[in-house]
Each structure stands twice: as structure tokens, then as C-alpha cells.
Structure 1
Amino acid sequence: MSPVLAAADVVPAPSAVRSVWDSPLYRGATVALFLSGLGTSAAAPQITLFLVDDLHVSLTTAGLYYLTSVTAPVAGYLVGARSDRTGRRLGLFRLCAVLGALGWCAMAFAHQVWMPFVISAVVLAFAGGAGSQLFAAVHDDLQATASPIGDGVVSVVRMALTAGWIVGPVAGSLLAMTSGPRVMLMATGVCTLAQILPMGFARARSAPHADQAAGAEADAEVPGSQAPARPHVGIRTMLPLLAFTGLYVLVYAGEPIKYGYLTIYMHDDLHLPTTVSGAVIAIQPLIELALMPVAVVVARRTGMMRLMVLGAAFGVGANLCFALTAGAAGMFAGQILMGGVWGVFAGLGIIVAQRLLPQAVATASAVFMSSTAIASALGGLTGSLGVSLLGLPHVFLAPAVYGTVATVGIAVMSRSRHAAG
């Protein structure tokens, strides 16, 4: 064969970034998830201030607000199960986005103490279902096209959510300071609704069912179409997913403790300048964003679950840095390690969850993504009790213990037949 013909037969490796840019579905999902992260993260740090300053509730009552998030996994499961039965991912995505927008706007007009609690528990519980439906739609399309770079595409799309969480807290703080918290909550509602715009008229293909022959093409999702009914997924089938999600909750539980008390510790006990403490907080998402694509490459060689063992161990090390060091260097080290945790879990967690329940990826996505609500409730309760019993900084020993349990548990799962790669 001549060198010219040999060169012509060489097919360049596909690029995940290029694939995302070229696909209206992937590109739209990326922008939509950025808007979702932007709006949610803008409101999250300001909710307590809104309850205390505008509705005049006590700090104790305001803290109970975060317990309303425990309804999110139930709502997520209901949305995911419906999606897996019908195959209509994007219709449910749009419905969840509309409900989320209505919930945040209603929150902005709340004038009674009970209103934010009911709105959060009943309406906003469904808002998180929007993101899980996008990930399910992307998964279906990747399966239908047999993309060799599916993990890379999912990682790029997921990075947009992290990018939104980097920008959101700063934007929300500035907007609340200049225009008030109610305007900020309205802006969150606008961002939530705006998720629908970048999706436009994008269509999502349904992945073949488990009992279909390999390589069968799925029908495109079109308005008014009905996908074939999908098999019911029992609890026994979901056990590997539930086990992994439970371990992820233990890893994530340290985040609300960190955000609740690390800044206080650096300011009141370590007396670090505001610029230094701000840099400490900001370095984690930057490390996370940089490591997410690296984690995908490394996972192809080591296996995703094995890499997650290392990620969970990083979390243990990070919390030990917070608990046992008393200087800026220790705080930076802890945050860098925490960036490693989320560089692994943010990039790969949704992929592992979907592989643990391949016959119901929308349910898997919804259960996994809504687990952060349970983790926030667990972390909030642990932090409240831990500060009173252990004080600062030893409260961070509690998430270190949680992380140790998670590390061992994920290591056991990585050796089982349920390992997801």
C-alpha cells in the first residue's frame, strides 16, 4: 500500500469538545446545565440571609430550611421512573425547568415563614429533575450512535454545571447586595427557565432497551410520540446504584460542613486576611474544573471505581488538613485535595450511576443527582452537632470519618461484579 493511501485510511481520533460543539443536543445541554448551576448556586448561599433578614425567622428555624431538600430524591425518582417508562426525556426536562422557575419566583414573593419551606419541599424538589433528564438524553444519544468518546462527552457537559457553580455564588452575592435578595431569587427563576432556550427544538434519541438486539436504532423523540414501555425496575435491581449513591452521600456530606464553618474558622481562629481566605475557597472549583477531563483519561486505564477510591481518600486527607493544621498552607492543601475529590466524582459519578442501572438511566441519573440533597441535610446536622461537641476545627474529623467509610465501601464495590468500570 502506498504511503498516500495509508495516510488516507488514518481516521483522526474524535474530540469530545468538538462532538459537543457539533451536536445541537450536547451543545444545548451544556449551556442549559451552566445556567442551572449559575442560578442554583447564586441562591444557595443567600437563602438563610433571606429567611433571617426578610422573613425575620431565627437562625435555628432558618437552618431547618435545608431539611426540606430530603424530598428531592423522592421527586427525582418519580421523574426518572416516568422518563424510563415513556422515554420522553426532554419533555420532562422542560416540565421540571418550568416548575423550578415557578418555585423560585414564588419564593421571591414569599411573605409568610411557612411559604419557603413548602415551596422548597413541594415545588423545587422537582427542579433538580431537569438536569438528570438532560444527562439521560445525552446518554441515550451516545448509546444510539455508539460513540467511542461517550465518557468524554458526558464529562464536558458536566463541566458546564461546575462552571456555573464557580460563577453563581459571586453573581448572587453581588445581585443580592445591590438589588436585594428577592430580586436575586427572581433572577434564579429566570436562569432556571432559561435552561429551555438553548435546547431549542433539539431531539433526543431513545437508547435501545435491554432486551433489544445490539445495534438496533432507536426512534427519535418527537412531540406527541410514545416510546415503547420499559420494564419496571425493582429495588433489588437498584441495590448497586443505591449502595454507590449512599457512599457518595458520605463523601459529599463534608461540603456543607466546610462551607458552613471553614470561613468562620479562618476568620475567627486563624485570623487570615479576607483575600487569603477568599483564595482558599476559590481554589477548589478551579482545581476541580481542571481535573475533570484528566479524570476521564486516567479512568480509562485504571477503571472508574478504582479512581473513585483515590478520590474518596483525597476527601479524608482534605478534612484532616482542616482539622489538624492551623495555617493558610494547611487550608490551601485541604482545598486542593478537595478539588481532587470533585474532579473525580463530578466528572465520573453520573457515568458510574448510569452504568449501575443501564436499563433505567433516567432513574439512575435522578437518584444520583438528588442525593446531594440528602448529603446536605446529613452534613448540616453533623456540623451543628459536631461544633457543639467537638468545636472548631475538630468538627472536620466527622466528615473525615464519613470519607473513610466511603473509601472502604467504594473499594469493596470496585472488586465486586457490580463494578461499573
Structure 2
Amino acid sequence: MTDVVTPVQNATPHNTKGDVFQSFNVEDFPVPGGRDEVWRFISLRRIHGLHNGTFPAQAPVQVCIDAPSEVTVKEVSADDERLKVCGGPADRVAAQAWTSAEHGTIITVPQDAVLDRAIEVTITGAGLDATTFATILVETGRHSEATVIVRYEGSGIHADNLNWHVGEGARLNAVVDTQWARDAVHIGQQSIRANRDSVMRHTVAAFGGEVTRISPRVTFAEPGADVELNGVYFADAGQYIETRMLVDHSVPNCRSNVLYKGALQGEKSSGLPEARTCWVGDVLIRAEAKGTDTYETNRNLVLTDGARADAVPNLEIETGEIAGAGHAATVGRFDEEQLFYLRSRGIPEAEATRLIIRGFFNEVLNQIPVESVRDELIARVAGELEHNNN
């Protein structure tokens, strides 16, 4: 008797996390369950049906773009092939966003342009009784230089695909600030395609929202590209913040560096769900990616009892001919020796604690090139610490 093998729906014969199934059609993905690997940390009941199609009625997404005169902004049909240059959705919510988006937006920085101010994109939620979806592509021409600031604000249920296509020799700084109201839900995939000798600096600041999950995915299209993924997050009681990333080295002589830092606080007595964060960092070095140089780091500070952080770094290496590779992740309290040192010099314990935590975050925040944004995020960290002490 011959055994009959029934394949899992939409499974693909892949050996690495870089070869996972992708599709622009939500119906190509099965409805996920809580035991599925990519959804096992998040509470599906808290994302208002984004994963199974039972979300509240869809509303038009509000996207405001302020850009220098050299920049072109076009609204295109949702099925425009140009939107697909960075790859497809890798999970059902990202595919739902793609399928449901009424149109797409392409922001283009022309070849050789050096912008004298940042492109600012503001996405505003439509309220908790409505769901919004968006598809946005930022593309930078050959040898151009640009900074893009994307802010999410207001209340609502939102899912999107925010993609970045970095041209040959271009330099792109991106700051993604999820400054949602405390009751918002946001699931977003961000795909980066880096061409020859390009430089990408991508920073995520996650402070707002009830549930926020950002999934950066990096594809190196040509040799010589350099990508850094940085992030800061701060979760209070009732908040869940997840980062799930993939850096796919598939061509020679590229560099990547990942640095994410987070803090959590919130007592069980608040009556809210525990403050929780999850960081999953996958780095893949394929056999053909000789000369790769990569490192990823995730650091977490748990400031109160009743908070939980998960840190899962993964490194797959298929060739030994690389410049370097490594990863590190920690979850713990702040350094008691530093606290003792500051207190021994007359600094009160509460102020000493704030100084240590600000220093912890500044390693990431100081890399943000826009001073006003950097100062705003530093002030936001200070506000979180003040809230903890009140």
C-alpha cells in the first residue's frame, strides 16, 4: 500500500526562513492559529480579526505626505506592478492589507537628488470601529540621498505594507514612529530591497498602541549594500510590542547590523494585561553570500515585576567564507553596579535609575539624523520613566 502524503496548504519546499511562502492574495494563506510559529507570541484575540477577516468595517486610510519639491508622490492602483518590487507579503495579515488596500502610494526621490529636508509621512487611524489598510513604496534613485520620517498616530485598527527600494549608491535614512493612541492595533510588514553600494539606515520607535507588530524584511539585491536596522521600544501594562525581522544575505560582500533596545514596566495591580514585548531576529547567510559581515543585538530591561520580554535571535550560515557574523540578546534588570556608583555620588535612586535607562536608549537614539525627532524620542523615554515613578 502506497502512503498518501497530504501537503500543508501553501507550504513550500524550503530549507531556510528566507524561502517562506509569499503572496499578494490573502486567500492564499490559511487562517493562523495561536500555535503557528510566526503567531505564537501574539494574542490573536487582541488584533480585532485582522488575521481571519472578521475585522470592523473598512474605512479609507488617511495618509498625509509633506515632501520637498524634487520628490514625486503618485497614487496608483493597488495592482500596479511597481508596488511589488520589494517582494510580497509573508503572512496573512500583510496579505490582507495588500488585498484590501484601495490604492497604493509611490514616493520617488529622483536620481542624484540630495534632499535638504526630510520627507514626512503621517498615517492617522480611523477609530476603533473602523479598519484601515495601506500600501506605500518609497523608492530612491541612483546616488540620491534622503531622509523619510513615517509617523502613525490616532486610534484605530491598521495593517499595511511599507516598502523601501534603495537605488544603486543611494543613501536612505528612515525613521518609523508608531506614536499610536494607547488603544490602537497595528500589524505592519516593511520590506527593504537594497541595490549595489546602497546604504540604508532604518529605525523603528515603538511606544504607542495596545498591540504593535512591525516586521522588517531585508533583501540584498546586489553586492556592496549596507543596511542597519535599529529600534527602541517601551511597553507599559496593557501593551504588547513585537518586532519580527528577516535579514536575507543572498549576494556577496554586503553588510548588516541590527541593534534593538527595549524596556518594560507595569505592575500586576494595574488590572491590565502584563507589559510584554517580543523580538525575533532572523539573519540568513546563503551559500552564495561570500564576504558577508553581519551582527544582531537585542537588549531588554525589565523595570517592574509583572512584565515579560522574549528575545529570539537566529543566525543561519551556509558558507564559511564571510567577514564575520554573530548575535546577542539579553533580558534583565539594569546594572546594579551603575546604580550603586551614582548613588555613592549623592544622586538619589530614582534620578540615578532614570540616568541609567536614558543612557541605555541613547546608543540607538543618537544615531537618528534628524535632531528634532531625536530630541522628541529622548523626551518620550523620559516621560515613560516619570510615569513609572508616579
Output the TM-score relative to the length of structure 1.
0.24
The structure richer in helix per residue is 1
Higher relative contact order, chain-length normalized (CA < 8 Å, sep 6+) = 1
In terms of fraction of residues, the more strand-rich structure is 2
